[in-house]
Amino acid sequence: GINAEYGGIFSAAILSVQETIDAKYFKKPMCSNFRPTELTYSYNERVERWRELVKSAGTYSDLHMLLSILDNCIKWERSLENITCRSCKKKWNIKSVYLKLVTSIK
């Protein structure tokens, strides 16, 4: 079974991560072009069902599986680490951009 205190914290953390991801960064099964059956569900219905499963997870294995589903549904190729400059097409070094930003604030 799952410890109510820690399971709740872990569930809340997973749900918080999901909330920070914009819908355009999801791929199937969270996105709209996934049709597992003849019934089609909207993005909001699929996300809400996934969220319900996270909230009702009975074991840490269930939570791990649901976290894996979330991870596999993210379009990682669109992450900040893969952004390229539009004019020169060079890949950005996100760490150097971050350091420049931080040092310019000081």
| Structure-token pair, residue 41 | 């569900």
* Res 92: pLDDT: 65
Q: Select the more confidently predicted residue: 58 or 27.
A: 58
Residue 55 and residue 11 in contact, taking contact as beta carbons nearer than 8 Å: yes
Cα distance between residue 34 and residue 40, in whole Å: 8
The 10 Å CB-count burial string (b at 16+, else e) for 65-93 is ebbeebeebbeeeeeeeeeeeeeeeeeee
Q: pLDDT, tens digit, for every residue of 37-94?
A: 545 567 788 889 999 999 999 899 999 999 999 999 888 877 766 667 677 777 766 6
| 13 φ/ψ angles, rounded to the nearest 5 degrees | -65, -45
Q: How far apart are alpha carbons 65 and 69 in whole angstroms?
A: 6
